[in-house]
Amino acid sequence: MKRWLKPADPVLMLAAAAFAGFSWLALLSATSGGWSPSGMAVRQAGYILLGLVVMHLVSCLDYRRVRYAAWPIYVLVLLLLVAVMLPGVGQAAKGAQRWISLGPLGTLQPSEPAKLAVVLLLAHYLASRLKHHRTFRVKWLAGCLAIAGVPFLLVAAQPDLGTGIVIMALAFVMLFQAGASPIHLGGIVFAGLGILPLVLKEYQRHRLLVFLNPSIDPQGTGYNIMQSQTAIGSGGIWGTGLFYGPMSQRGFVPENHTDFLLTVVGEEAGLVGTLALLALFLLLCFALVRITVKAIDLLGVLLGVGVTSLMGLQALINIGMVVGALPVVGLPLPLASFGGSAMVTNFAALGLAASISRVSREPDFAREVCELD
C-alpha cells in the first residue's frame, strides 16, 4: 500500500511537472494576456493535473505486466484511427480529420496514444524475440516496420505528417537500440525519402518548398516561419516580460498556444527563458536515460529508449520548426502545447518510464511482482 503514496522517480516527475508548469505560463500569456486565466488556460491546467495523476498511476504498475496489454492497446488505437476517418465519428479542423468526439468530455485525438502504443508494442516485440536469439535478425525489420507503418499510414492520411514522422522515427531509434544494422536502417530511410515526394500531399510539398525559401509565400506558410522567428528573435536575452510581448499578445504569431508556444517563451522570457526550458527538457531526458541504463531487463531498456525518443523527437521537431531550422510539419511541443490527448499520453509515457525506475530500485517490489507472474 505504501507504494501508491511514494513517487516512483522524483527527479523525472519533478522535471516533467516543472516543464509543464513553465510552459503553462506561456500558454496563459498567449491565451489570456494576464493572470486571470482564459477557458483554454484553465482546461490546460486540468489536463496537466490529470496528466500528473495518470503518470503516478502508471508508475505504480509493473511495466513487465503492461507488456501483455501491448497488442490490445495497439489494436484499439488502430481502430480509433480508422474511426477518425469515418464520417459522423471523426471531426475535422484546419483541413485535417483528427478528432473523435467524446461528448461532454471533449474530444480525443487518437494519433497521440498511437505513438505510445507503437513504443509499447515495439518494445514488447523486440524484447521477447531478443530474449531467445540474443542477436538481431534482419527479418524482424519487416515486422517492426509493419507495426509502425500501419499507424503511420493512417495518421499521414488524416493528414498529420508530423505525428507520422515521429512514429516512423521512433521505430528506427528502437530498432537501432535493439541491434539492427545501421546500414540497413540507413538504406530504408534513404528509400523512404525517395518515395516521399510521391506520397506527399500538395500542401505538404508546398510547405517543404516554403521552408527552403520562405519568401515565396510571405502571407501563407512562410508567414508562420517569419513571424515565429521574428517573435523569438525580438525577445532578445531577457525578453519583454510575461504578458508584454507585442507580437505574442496581438496575434502576430498564428497557433502560438499550440505548435508555436515556444515563440511566447522566446519573446517574453528571452534567451534566458528558452534555454531554461531547454535545460529542463534535457534534465527530463537525462532522467529517462538514467532509468534506461539502470533497467533490469531488455524490455525496460527498449521501453526506456522508446519513451526517451518519443519525448526527444517530438521536442526536436517542434523546436526545430519554430526556430526555422526544420520545415513546418505541425507537431505540438510535448507537455507544453495546448491539448488534452497529447498531455495525458506524454505523462502516461513518463509514468511507464517511472515504473521501470521503480522496478529497478525497489527489489521488494520486483520480487512481489515476479511472484505474481
Per CB under 8 A, residues contacting other proteins are: 130, 134-136, 173, 176-177, 179, 219, 226-227, 229-237, 246-247, 250-252, 266, 270-271, 274-275, 278, 281-282, 285, 289, 292-293, 296-298, 301, 305, 308-309, 312, 316, 319-320, 323-325
Nearest partner of 363 among 308, 294, 292, 287, judged by Cα: 294
Q: Which is nearer to other proteins, 76 or 283 (CB)?
A: 283
In angstroms, the Cα distances linking 18 to 51, 184, 231, 279, 362 are 13, 39, 24, 11, 25
In angstroms, the Cα distances linking 196 to 8, 143, 172, 259, 311 are 42, 21, 17, 23, 24
Q: Which is nearer to other proteins, 270 or 334 (CB)?
A: 270
Q: Which is nearer to other proteins, 36 or 135 (CB)?
A: 135
Q: Which is nearer to other proteins, 1 or 212 (CB)?
A: 212
Q: How far is the CB of 4 from other proteins (least distance, A)?
A: 29
Q: How far is the CB of 293 from other proteins (least distance, A)?
A: 7
Q: How far is the CB of 178 from other proteins (least distance, A)?
A: 8
Q: Which is nearer to other proteins, 35 or 238 (CB)?
A: 238
- Give the cell for residue 169: 522515427
**Quick check: 243 and 253 in contact, CB under 8 A?**
no
Q: How far is the CB of 99 from other proteins (least distance, A)?
A: 26
Q: How far is the CB of 28 from other proteins (least distance, A)?
A: 19
How far apart are the C-alpha atoms of 151 and 158, rounded to whole Å?
Answer: 11
Q: How far is the CB of 315 from other proteins (least distance, A)?
A: 8
Residue 97 bridge partners (DSSP): 92
Q: Which is nearer to other proteins, 60 or 175 (CB)?
A: 175
How far apart are the C-alpha atoms of 155 and 344, rounded to whole Å?
Answer: 19
- Give the cell for residue 197: 515526394
Q: Which is nearer to other proteins, 55 or 175 (CB)?
A: 175
Q: Which is nearer to other proteins, 60 or 269 (CB)?
A: 269
Q: How far is the CB of 154 from other proteins (least distance, A)?
A: 27
Q: Which is nearer to other proteins, 80 or 225 (CB)?
A: 225
Reading phi first (left if > 0) and then psi (alpha if -120 to 50, else beta), residue 62 is in: beta
Q: How far is the CB of 263 from other proteins (least distance, A)?
A: 11
Q: How far is the CB of 233 from other proteins (least distance, A)?
A: 3
